[in-house]
Amino acid sequence: MLSGYWHFLPEVLVVAAALAALFGEYLPGKDRGTAYLGAVVAALAALLVAFGGTAAPMVFGQVEPDGIARFARTGVAGLTAVWLLWVAGRGMPGERRREAVALALFAASGGMLLSMAEDLIVMYIALELSTMPAYVLMGYRRSDVPGLEGSLKYFLLSMLTSIVMLYGLSFVYGISGTTAFSGIDLSAGGILGVIAVLLVLVGLLAKMSAAPFHYWAPDAYAGGAPVAVAFVSTVPKIAGIAVMTRLFGAIAPGVPALPLVLASAAALSMVLGNLAALPQSDIRRLMAYSGVAHTGYLLMALAAGTSMGYIATVFYAVAYAVPSMAVMLVAAEEGVELSDLAGLARTRPWVAWSMLVWLLSLIGIPPLAGFFGKLYLFGAALDAAMVWLVVLGVVTSVISAGYYFRVVREMFLAEPGAGVADAADGAVVTARSRSAATALVLCAVATIAIGLAASPLLASLGVRL
């Protein structure tokens, strides 16, 4: 059990590994050794967080390593370790690995700190630390024009919405007189308080790729390498959801209209995300719109404004991130078009069956992680009398089966194609790798294990079942 400031040891280790990765050429194994080192340190950080216990607010109340933070930090560090393990075996397309390792570790450290934030200043700094490395990862292939274009779109929109959010946070501070979440009170802010919340929402919803601020995601993902998309679309989202539960929990009592605004964004995200994903043939764009839809499910529970809703949101963020990352890593190996997966059940049967598990989890089929995640989300919304939103969530979940099963059809029913996609399409064309295979196996095991262990996991977050 960690105590006192030892609770920050996981973040310190991750930052130290990131700094070491910058000098990876001097480490044993150079690029590959750097990736393995990062994976080991990230895995160690995840274990320290998972078994390190919780604590009361620390550093003058600016951070709180509670149950929600522990779960989110474990998810961030664990998924970073899996991603780095895959990179150690497969590498990055056309570029050195060590810079990507450093960027991922810096983003992970920011995400872990963000999950504990209980102060507006800490939140903003950690949020930028967790997202800024993502801009570079999305444009990692310097010779790839579409990738650079997508990265630039991501950067410009993210910077713009960060400024808008910061403007809103200044209003929150002006009304409340404090930056601590526990001291925020917008009940006397009137129309200015509403404007402040709307400005903050614009920034956070844009970073989470929620409708109507989602338009950057498909273009940015389609331009980036699938391995970069696998990290950017999952790890920062876990931390972002964790801090949203804290912030909105503090703001909601003073802004009665907040649940309706979140519910509207949830409905729009679920409908637009799922319908737009149906015709996609590029896996990156398909998963981008899928991410928009899943953000809608997350916002549904946030709109409930209850303790159970907040906890269910963090649980589902991890339950969604694991299979989503795995799908994109397979796309990095096989190719980004649906046709590149044709006949995968014959050429790599264990990968095809693992893909089936991940896709079924994303749909919400029991007993996988996604099923229990959606069950808790829908339950929280029902408890808040948002029946219409739950019905919409169930209907759009059924619609999502349409595009997920298109992937299944290609893998199990189509004839094998000509081979792995060209590197220009974003695939990492290398020989089979044990470490990359291990990363995929870990994702498959985690998808099943999170579902089977849903009750104890929710209990660790503070839910009495």
Instruction: Examine residue 425 and state whether it is found in any structural domain, yes or no.
Output: yes
Coil, helix or strand at residue 92? strand
What pLDDT, on a 0 to 100 scale, did the predictor assign at position 98? 83
Asked whether residue 66 is assigned to any structural domain, the reply reads: no
Q: Give the per-residue pLDDT at 432.
A: 67
Q: Is the pLDDT of residue 423 over 60?
A: no
pLDDT at 465: 42
Region label for 91, one of left (φ > 0), alpha (ψ between -120 and 50) or beta (otherwise): left
Whether 98 is in a domain gets the answer no
Kindly state whether residue 401 falls inside one of the protein's structural domains: yes
Across 388-409, average pLDDT: 94
Structural domain contains residue 316: yes
Please state the three-class secondary structure of 196-226 as a single string: HHHHHHHHHHHHCCCCCCCCHHHHHHHHCCH
The pTM is what? 0.92
Q: What angle do CA 288, 290, 293 make, to 5 degrees?
A: 115
Query: Are the beta carbons of 137 and 100 closer than 8 angstroms?
Result: yes
Cβ atoms of 119 and 181 within 8 Å: the answer is yes
Burial pattern 116-128, b for ≥16 Cβ within 10 A else e, equals bbbbbebbbebbb
Give per-residue pLDDT as tens, 87-138.
Answer: 998 877 656 778 889 999 999 999 999 999 999 999 999 999 998 888 888 8
395: left (phi over 0), alpha (psi -120 to 50) or beta: alpha
Q: Sign of the CA dihedral 114, 119, 122, 127?
A: positive
How do residues 153-207 score in pLDDT, each as one tens digit?
Answer: 888 888 888 899 999 999 999 999 999 998 898 888 788 888 999 999 998 998 8
Query: Which tokens go with 386?
Result: 């948002």
Contact (Cβ atoms closer than 8 angstroms) between residue 346 and residue 442: no
Domain count, the chain: 1
Residue 73 has pLDDT above 80, yes or no: yes
Domain membership of residue 290 as a residue range: 136-460
Residue 354 within any structural domain of the chain: yes
The pLDDT of residue 354 is: 95
Does residue 96 lie in a domain region?
Answer: no
What is the pLDDT confidence band of residue 357, given thresholds at 50, 70 and 90? very high
Q: Is residue 267 part of a domain?
A: yes
